[in-house]
């Protein structure tokens, strides 16, 4: 079992920044894919970024590339999402997720591969 707890959401004006954190606990495999998703009301869940636990490869959706940065601190078992140049369309509930069985790859964006999910943290961007 892996437990994921997000924090850092809030309200910000367009152009502002936020940093989300996701603290992981439980059984952490060496090979894991850790990702961030978001879901706006009435819309499907969107994969926005992922990385390999302990590795260097990162993956981004086109909608956030160049504005968001995913990173990790393995000493703290914490995943981060630095969000800059926020836009009103970034308003969503943000979730972190973990695939405990394998590295990220070309299918990093597929939500069905992720076994564990956090409860979410709300991000609201006003114009």
- State residue 58's pLDDT score: 95
High-pLDDT (> 70) share of the chain, %:
100
Instruction: Assign 28 a pLDDT band (cuts: 50, 70, 90).
Output: confident
- State residue 56's pLDDT score: 87
Instruction: Assign 48 a pLDDT band (cuts: 50, 70, 90).
Output: very high
Beta carbons of 14 and 125 less than 8 angstroms apart: yes
| Cα 47 to Cα 39: distance, rounded to the nearest angstrom | 9
Each residue of 13-22: pLDDT tens digit?
Answer: 999 999 999 9
| Beta strand pairing call for 2-7 and 121-126 | unpaired
- State residue 103's pLDDT score: 93
């Amino acid at each position: 079992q892996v437990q994921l707890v997000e924090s850092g959401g809030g309200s910000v004006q367009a152009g502002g920044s936020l940093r989300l954190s996701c603290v992981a606990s439980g059984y952490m495999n060496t090979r894991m894919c850790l990702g961030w998703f978001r879901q706006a009301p009435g819309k499907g869940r969107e994969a926005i970024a992922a990385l390999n636990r302990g590795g260097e490869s990162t993956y981004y959706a086109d909608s956030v590339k160049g504005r968001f940065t995913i990173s990790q601190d393995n000493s703290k078992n914490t995943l981060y999402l630095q969000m800059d140049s926020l836009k009103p369309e970034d308003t969503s509930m943000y979730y972190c997720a973990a695939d405990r069985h394998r590295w990220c790859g070309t299918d990093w964006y597929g939500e069905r591969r992720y076994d564990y999910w956090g409860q979410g943290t709300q991000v609201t961007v006003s114009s």
